[in-house]
Amino acid sequence: MINKRLLQPVLTMLALAGFLSACTPKLFRDLDMQVVSSVSLSRGTLMPVFDNITEPVYYTAQLDYQKTEETGVSMMGILAMTQEAKGSYRLVMMSSFGVTLFDFSISRDSFVVNSCMDQMNKKVVLGILEKDFRTILMLNVPEKMKGRLYRTDQKPDWLGYGINADDGECDYLIEPNGISFKRTIQNGGPIKRMTAVFDEDVVTIQHPKLGLKIIMTKMPAQ
């Protein structure tokens, strides 16, 4: 007969391991990264991409929503991004025919729809786009914050940070990539999870469960 008293420590350890695994954000869990310490962070630690824009930046942009061979929405155009003041941006996307698809003004405290095409001018869609742009512009991140540091022995030079942003938990992965860095941001739960990947001049935003994907490719400066 199995001694239940002897089994109890083993069962407790297994339960604890399962709890810790469940608490690890998906971005880090998929890479076998574990939390190693609590840390004090600044915005600079998370390597913001768009903080120091001094001139308009242009991207070719493709937006696909629930796209299949027969159904869904697919739009292509040019996205112009301007920093009008510190922490305040203007985002304008135009089609190849010169039609404005959307024109947003966004800051940490506001989101203004200057114009938007009818197909996108819906509360749910605008809410998703607002949160996505707020996340990649890091407008939801304070100057100073507490966070959690994640590491893995398999990739000792990779750094993962988990923070409580203004709009919920947000996770950041920074990977050395030659002379630059690849950055990944992930937030949201299983249904509304968003992943943004910054890989050199390409930014890819994906909502797998919602079927939404945005690819932004930086255009050469004129």
Domain ranges within the chain, ordered by starting residue: 45-142+169-218
Please report the pLDDT score of residue 17 as a whole number: 38
Whole-prediction pTM: 0.83
Alpha-carbon distance 222 to 220, whole Å?
6
Residue 93, strand partner residues = 79, 102
What is the mean predicted confidence (pLDDT) over 190-211? 90
3-state SS, 9-59, equals HHHHHHHHHHHHHHHCCHHHHCCCCEEEEEEEEEHHHHCCCCCCCCCCEEE
Give the tens place of pLDDT for each residue, 98-154: 899 999 999 999 999 999 998 889 898 899 999 999 999 999 999 999 999 999 999
Judged against a pLDDT cut of 70, whether residue 18 lies above it is answered with no
Q: Given CATH 2.50.20, say whether it is the number of domain 45-142+169-218.
A: yes
Query: Are the beta carbons of 91 and 72 closer than 8 angstroms?
Result: no
Please report the pLDDT score of residue 129 as a whole number: 92
Weakest mean pLDDT among 34-43, 64-73, 156-165? 64-73
Report the chain's mean pLDDT, rounded to a whole number: 86
Please report the pLDDT score of residue 192 as a whole number: 80
**Backbone Cα Rg of the chain:** 20
Judged against a pLDDT cut of 60, whether residue 7 lies above it is answered with no
Please report the pLDDT score of residue 3 as a whole number: 53
Give the model's confidence band at 185: pLDDT under 50 very low, under 70 low, under 90 confident, else very high: very high
Please report the pLDDT score of residue 156 as a whole number: 92
Judged against a pLDDT cut of 90, whether residue 16 lies above it is answered with no
Give the tens place of pLDDT for each residue, 68-96: 666 777 889 999 999 999 999 999 999 98
Give the model's confidence band at 5: pLDDT under 50 very low, under 70 low, under 90 confident, else very high: low
